[in-house]
């Protein structure tokens, strides 16, 4: 739209430069000026409407930023498993498939509803939880036994009264 506005300005300048001595007597030039004024007003309104729509879309997109951040964090966490063992390599297409599975499973009625009046924040919390569970399941199935958390062994003289934290999680 800005390009068409600049084209109209260029056309107007060419018409003014080629007009004779008395601009007011040039009827086609006056009609052209009127047409350009109307077109410029329409373009200005369209640009204003576009800017308002852009602001609205930005605010709606910000609602999903937390879920996107959680999904990206989960992806990079899964990618960091390669530092534990080189065999733990998960590719991006499999993660995208897992992400899509989370979204389609949620929209099918699992997490959140399908109505327009549903709580968006609640649905996003459910989506985040479902994605984390799906990632945990994917990674948990791929871990070697030696890399899984094991319960801390208790000493025979002092059996534990409460469940002990695993070796990898305790400080």
What is the tens place of the pLDDT at every residue in 2-45? 777 788 788 878 877 777 777 777 787 788 888 888 888 888 89
Sign of CA dihedral 58, 68, 119, 106: positive
Query: pLDDT, tens digit, for every residue of 46-73?
Result: 989 999 999 999 998 999 999 999 999 9
* pLDDT at 71 (0 to 100): 93
Q: Where exactly are the structural domains of the chain?
A: 2-60, 64-143
> Residue 76 and residue 40: Cα distance in Å, rounded?
49
Weakest-pLDDT range from 21-30, 93-102, 122-131, 146-155: 146-155
Q: Token pair of 63, please? A: 């609602």
Pinpoint the alpha helices (H) of the chain. Answer: 2-18, 27-63, 65-80, 92-107, 120-142
Predicted confidence (pLDDT) at residue 113 exceeds the cutoff of 50? no
pLDDT at 28: 77
Cα–Cα dist 21/18, whole Å: 10
- Higher-pLDDT residue of 132 and 4 is 132
SS3 162: coil
Q: List, in sequence order, every residue forming a beta bridge with 126; answer none if it has no partner.
A: none
Tell me 160's DSSP state: -
What is the rounded average pLDDT for all residues in the chain?
80
- Contact between residue 70 and residue 131 where contact means Cβ atoms under 8 Å apart: yes
> Alpha-carbon dihedral of residues 49, 54, 56, 61, nearest 10 degrees?
160
Measured CA distances, 5 to 2, 51, 109 (Å): 5, 16, 48
What radius of gyration, in Å, describes the C-alpha atoms of the chain?
32
pLDDT digits (tens, 9 = 90+) for 121-131: 889 999 999 99
- Give the residues across from 155 on adjacent strands: 158
Query: Residue 111 — pLDDT band, cuts 50, 70, 90?
Result: very low
């Amino acid at each position: 739209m800005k390009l068409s506005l600049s084209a109209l300005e260029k056309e107007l300048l060419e018409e003014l430069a080629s007009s004779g001595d008395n601009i007011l007597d040039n009827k086609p030039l006056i009609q052209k000026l009127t047409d350009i004024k109307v077109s410029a007003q329409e373009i200005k309104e369209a640009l204003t409407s576009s800017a308002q729509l852009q602001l609205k879309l930005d605010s709606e997109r910000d609602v999903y930023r937390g879920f996107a951040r959680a999904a990206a964090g989960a992806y990079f966490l899964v990618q960091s498993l390669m530092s534990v063992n080189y065999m733990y390599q998960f590719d991006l297409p499999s993660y995208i498939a897992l992400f899509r599975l989370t979204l389609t499973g949620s929209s099918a009625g699992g997490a959140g509803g399908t109505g327009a009046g549903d709580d968006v924040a609640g649905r996003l919390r459910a989506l985040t939880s479902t994605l984390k569970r799906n990632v945990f399941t994917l990674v948990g199935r791929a871990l070697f036994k030696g890399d899984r958390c094991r319960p801390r062994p208790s000493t025979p003289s002092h059996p534990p009264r409460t469940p002990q934290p695993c070796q990898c999680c305790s400080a």
